[in-house]
């Protein structure tokens, strides 16, 4: 079933006869458009992509199944005209992605009831197609290769930013458009910062270094974390490393379809808690990846959503002790019919450089 039809199949339940898509990620997912300006309008019988003169030719090439409409006034004015011509009476809009100011602009010109819709496209995006999984696998392969490369680069005396820049340069040369997000390189006591984006701190002997990075490739992302040591580390950090590794391996071995996000989270959290470090593991076990680096499903104690084949998630437990340091290990994996299949394959044994 194509993506447009999946949207239409939700109309009756939502009580709408049209949907306006304004989120950049959802717009790309539905239309394949990679430009920066445009909205999608789907009715029961039509699919329109509205953009300005800069992107008409690009949209015509990318947006298969859509009529391309060039707006000469404002986008809300063009949408209003199309809504009238298509006979749409109840127009759904993405309530999380339309600002109040933009909503008022549409409300002022569209002669239809505007109906807030939550998470419709995001729900469709949860299950990846074979084509999407292929791209995600290739993005993961770039990240794996970057990790192998960076092991030859890291040494005492260079900065975290040096490492971050080298990682991104390598991934771009390997085919990535960019990194998936601001690269995390957190060394020494900074490794206790779960999101310690690379700084000008100099890496020293004895430091644990946490690397969290990924490749943005063909519109999709990878997201991998490894922690390594530069010189012989503190014995306490080595102990923590083995606990995190054990938890991560339990998660990778146990995650399967039918399990809720809460149950998946418990695989790693219960192990870390039993070892006495539950208070130092403050984030969820994982999250979905795809067009975005953080999307559904969540592997969290807050989530009752059941995992299904085709979902792609991270598994990334961690322990973070202020003043000492931290450890996180993360893989990307696709949920299969019987379990899961890892997309990332870099070694997880503690490497001491």
Question: What phi, psi does 247 have (nearest 5°)?
Answer: -65, -45
- pLDDT above 90: residue 238: yes
φ, ψ at 12 (rounded to 5°): -60, -45
Mean pLDDT of 260-271: 99
pLDDT at residue 173, rounded to an integer: 99
Nearest C-alpha neighbor of 182 from the set 166, 168, 200, 202: 168
Provide φ and ψ at 151, rounded to 5°. -65, -25
Please tell me the predicted confidence (pLDDT) of residue 206. Answer: 96
Confirm if 334 and 310 have CB atoms less than 8 A apart.
yes
Tens digit of each residue's pLDDT (9 = 90 or more) over 151-208: 999 999 999 999 999 999 999 999 999 999 999 999 999 999 999 999 999 999 999 9
Q: Whole-number mean pLDDT of the chain?
A: 98
Question: CA 134 to CA 155: how far, in whole Å?
Answer: 34
pLDDT in tens, 74-117: 999 999 999 999 999 999 999 999 999 999 999 999 999 999 99
Dihedral sign computed on CA atoms, order 236, 346, 177, 138:
negative
Percent of residues, the chain, with pLDDT higher than 70: 100
Q: pLDDT per residue over 106-156, tens digit each? A: 999 999 999 999 999 999 999 999 999 999 999 999 999 999 999 999 999
Nearest to 68 by CA among 90, 83, 53: 53
Q: What is the pLDDT of residues 53-69, one digit of tens each?
A: 999 999 999 999 999 99
Could you tell me which of 174, 195, 226, 194 has the C-alpha nearest to residue 332?
Answer: 226
Model confidence at 293, pLDDT cuts 50, 70, 90, reads: very high
Q: What is the pTM of this model?
A: 0.95
Beta strand 39-43 pairing with 47-51 = antiparallel
Assign residue 252 a region (left: φ > 0; alpha: ψ between -120 and 50; beta: otherwise): alpha
Q: What pLDDT, on a 0 to 100 scale, did the predictor assign at position 1?
A: 57
**Which pLDDT score, from 0 to 100, does residue 332 have?**
99
Q: Compute and round to an integer the Cα radius of gyration of the chain.
A: 23
Tokens of residue 290, six digits? 């795809």
Residue 19: pLDDT over 90: yes
């Amino acid at each position: 079933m194509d993506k447009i039809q999946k949207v239409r199949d939700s109309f009756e339940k939502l009580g709408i006869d049209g949907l306006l898509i304004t989120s950049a990620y959802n717009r790309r997912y539905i239309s394949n458009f990679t430009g920066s300006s445009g909205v999608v309008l789907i009715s029961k019988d039509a699919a329109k992509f509205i953009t300005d003169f800069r992107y008409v030719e690009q949209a015509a090439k990318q947006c298969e199944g859509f009529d391309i409409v060039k707006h000469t006034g404002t986008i809300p004015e063009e949408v209003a005209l199309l809504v009238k011509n298509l006979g749409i009476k109840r127009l759904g809009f993405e309530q999380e992605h339309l600002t109040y100011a933009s909503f008022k602009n549409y409300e002022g010109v569209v002669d239809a009831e505007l109906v807030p819709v939550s998470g419709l496209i995001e729900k469709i995006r949860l299950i990846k197609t074979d084509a999407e999984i292929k791209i995600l696998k290739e993005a993961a392969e770039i990240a794996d290769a970057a990790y192998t490369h960076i092991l030859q680069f890291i040494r005492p005396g260079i900065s975290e930013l040096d490492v971050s820049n080298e990682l991104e340069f390598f991934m771009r040369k390997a085919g990535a458009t960019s990194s998936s997000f601001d690269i995390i390189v957190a060394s020494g006591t900074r490794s206790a910062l779960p999101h310690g984006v690379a700084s000008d701190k100099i890496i020293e002997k004895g430091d644990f270094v946490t690397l969290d990075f990924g490749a943005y490739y063909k519109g999709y992302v990878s997201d991998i974390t490894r922690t390594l040591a530069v010189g012989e580390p503190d014995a306490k950090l080595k102990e923590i490393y083995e606990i995190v590794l054990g938890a991560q391996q339990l998660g990778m071995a146990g995650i399967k379809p039918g399990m809720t996000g809460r149950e998946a989270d418990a695989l790693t959290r219960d192990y870390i808690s039993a070892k006495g470090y539950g208070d130092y593991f403050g984030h969820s076990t994982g999250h979905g990846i795809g067009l975005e680096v953080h999307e559904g499903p969540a592997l969290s104690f807050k989530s009752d959503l059941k995992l299904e084949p085709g979902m792609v998630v991270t598994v990334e437990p961690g322990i973070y002790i202020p003043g000492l340091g931290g450890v996180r290990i993360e893989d990307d994996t696709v949920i299969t019919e019987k379990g899961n299949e890892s997309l990332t394959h870099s070694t997880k044994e503690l490497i001491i450089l």
